[in-house]
Amino acid sequence: MAMALEGVRILDASGPIGHYAGRLLADLGADVIKVEPPNGDPARRWAPFLPEVEAPESALQFLLLNASKRGVTVDLTQPRGRELYLKLVKTADVVIDSLSPAEAARLQLTTNDLVAVKADLIHTSVTGWGLTGPRANWAYSDIVGCAMSGVMHLAGQSDGPPEQLPDMQGYHGASINAAAGTMGALVYHQATGQGQRVEVSMQEALSIAQETAMMQADILGTNRERGVPMRGLNMPGSGLHDAADGHVFLVASGLAGSGFVGLLGFMQETNDQQDLDQDPYDTFIHESMNTNFIMAMAADPEQAAPLMERLGHMDEVVRAFCRKHPKRYLYEEGQRRRILVGVVNTPQDILDSAQLKERDWFVDLDDPGRGVTLRYPGPQWQLQGTPATLRRPAPLLGEHNDELFAEVGVDVGELAELVSAGVVSS
C-alpha cells in the first residue's frame, strides 16, 4: 500500500531530543537517514541495554527511537565531514538537527549555510530553548524542560519533591511538535515549492501541558500546586482507588457516562452498596450527584461543607467496594456499565492487553544485524489509506555509509581515506 511520505528524504542529524520526530516521519514513509558522529549518537550509550548484544548496538532507547531509519556516520567538526554532510543535504527535502545557535555558527551549519546548498530545504531545529532569546545557548536535558515549562511544578505529592514526566516527555513533546511542524512545512512546500525553517523549543512545546495552571495564573493570579486536586474538592467515586490487586481511577461523580448512579448499580450487583440504596443517600445520589451540583460545589467549597459527612461516607463505601475486587473486573465491567473507570496498568498489563492484541498492535521485527527479534509498540495512528509501518530495525553504527556515500559520488578509495582520517566510522 502507498505510504504518505513516499519519496520524501529527511536527514536526521538531531541528538536524543529529536529522535522521536524522525521516527514518526520514517514510519509514515519518509526515507529518514540518521546522521551520527563516528563514535555514535550519545543515546547509544544510554541504559537500559539488550542482554547479550554488544555496545554500541544494545541501547534500547536508541533502538526504539531510531527504528525505520537508515544510518550514516560523519564527523561534522572536520571540514571534510562537513563537506560530505552538505552533499547529503543537497539530496534531502528536510534536515532535522538540534544544534544550538552557537554550535551551528561554529560548525557553519546554520539555516543559511544549509539553504546555500539546497535552496528549498526545510530545516527543522529541535532544541531546549529555541534558536533566539537570551537562553538560546543554555544547556538542557529532558528534566530541565519539564522544570522550566511549568509541568513539573504540578506533578508529585504535596509533601514530596516536584516530579518529572516519565520516559523523556520533554524530548518527546519537542519531537512530536517537530514532526507536526515539519509536516506543515512539507504541505506548504508541496503547494509552493518553498522551504522554510521550523523551530521547536522544548520549554515551549510542553507549556500547554500545564493544563489550567497558566490560565489560572493569568485570570486569577494564583498558582496551582502539586498534590492538590484541580477542582479543590475530593468527590466520592472520584480519583485513585485501591483495588484488591492494584489501583483503579474513577471519574464517577457525574461528569460523563453513567456517573454515580451507574456506580451504585454496579455495587449493588455484588451487594457492596451498604446503605447507599437507602435515603438520604439514594435520593441524594439520583437527584444531586450530577455535573451542575459538582460544579457548584467546586466553585464554592463552603457550600459543600454541610454535606461533607454524607460525601465522606459515600467515599468510604466506594473505597471498600474497590478494595474487594480485582482491578480488571472494576475496569472492564465498570466500563461496560458506562462508568468512567481507568485501570493503573503495568507494562506487563499493557503487553497482555486484550484490546491491543485484538487490534494486532504490537509488532515483532527481526533484527538480523543484532541477532535478535524485538517486540515494538505499534503505530500512533492507523491511517487506513497510507498505514504507518515499522520499516526496519535501527541502523547499526555506520550501516549505510557505503550505499549513501556512493550515491553522492564518494568512491571506494575516497571512503577508505575518510575512514582512516576519522571522518566516518569504519
Partner 1 sequence: MTTNGANGDDWTPGVLDGVKVLDLTWFGAGPICTRTLAGMGADLVRVETAKRPDGLRVAPPRPVGAEGLNLSGYYNNFNSDKKSITIDLTTERGHELGIELVKWADIMMTNFTPRAIRQIGMSWETIQEANPGIIAVYQTMQGMTGLHSEFGGFGAVLSTVCGVNYLAGSEVNPPAGVGTNYPDYVVNPIHGVTAILAALFHQRRTGEGQMIDMSQLESSVAATAGPLFAFANGGGEHLRMGNHVPYAAPHSAYQVRDRGDRLDLWLAIGCVEDEQWRRLAAVCGHEEWADDVRFASVTDRKANEDALDALISAWAVEQDGDAALEALQAAGVPAGLVLNATEVLADEQLVAREYFRYLDHSEAGRRAYDGAGFKMSLTPCEPQRAAPLLGEHTFEIASEILGLSSDEIGGLMAEQVLF
Residues 183-202 that bind partner 1 (CB under 8 A): 183-188, 190-191, 194, 196-201
Size of the residue set binding partner 1 (CB under 8 A): 154
Q: Which of 412, 385, 370 is nearest to 63 (CA)?
A: 370
- Cell 537508515, located at residue: 70
240-299 positions binding partner 1, by CB under 8 A: 240, 242, 247-249, 251, 255-257, 291, 295, 298-299
315-334 positions binding partner 1, by CB under 8 A: 331-332
CB within 8 Å of 4: residues ≥ 6 apart: 28, 29, 383, 386, 388
211-230 positions binding partner 1, by CB under 8 A: 211-221, 223-227, 230
Contact 24, 94 (CB under 8 A): no
Q: Write down the least CB distance from residue 366 to partner 1, Å.
A: 13
Residue 78 grid coordinates: 572536520
165 binds partner 1 (CB under 8 A): yes
71-130 positions binding partner 1, by CB under 8 A: 128-130
Strand partners, 240: 249
CB within 8 Å of 134: residues ≥ 6 apart: none
Indicate which single residue of 203, 273, 401, 425 sits in contact with partner 1 (rule: CB under 8 A).
Answer: 203
355 binds partner 1 (CB under 8 A): yes
231-250 positions binding partner 1, by CB under 8 A: 231, 240, 242, 247-249
Closer residue to partner 1 (CB): 108 or 216? 216
378 binds partner 1 (CB under 8 A): yes
What is the b/e burial string over 148-183, where b = at least 16 CB atoms within 10 angstroms of the residue's CB? bbbbbbbeeeeeeebbbbeebbbbbbbbbbbbebbb
- Cell 544544534, located at residue: 99
Indicate which single residue of 105, 244, 350, 412 sits in contact with partner 1 (rule: CB under 8 A).
Answer: 350
23-42 positions binding partner 1, by CB under 8 A: 24, 28, 42
Contact 282, 276 (CB under 8 A): yes
Q: Write down the least CB distance from residue 368 to partner 1, Å.
A: 16
Indicate which single residue of 107, 117, 147, 419 sits in contact with partner 1 (rule: CB under 8 A).
Answer: 147
Q: Which of 198, 205, 179 is nearest to 21 (CA)?
A: 179
306 binds partner 1 (CB under 8 A): no
Closer residue to partner 1 (CB): 185 or 263? 185
CB within 8 Å of 44: residues ≥ 6 apart: 36, 55, 56, 57, 59, 62, 397
Preceding peptide of 134 cis, ω within 30°:
no
Q: Write down the least CB distance from residue 334 to partner 1, Å.
A: 9
20 binds partner 1 (CB under 8 A): yes
Contact 11, 74 (CB under 8 A): no
Indicate which single residue of 96, 206, 235, 404 sits in contact with partner 1 (rule: CB under 8 A).
Answer: 206
47 binds partner 1 (CB under 8 A): yes
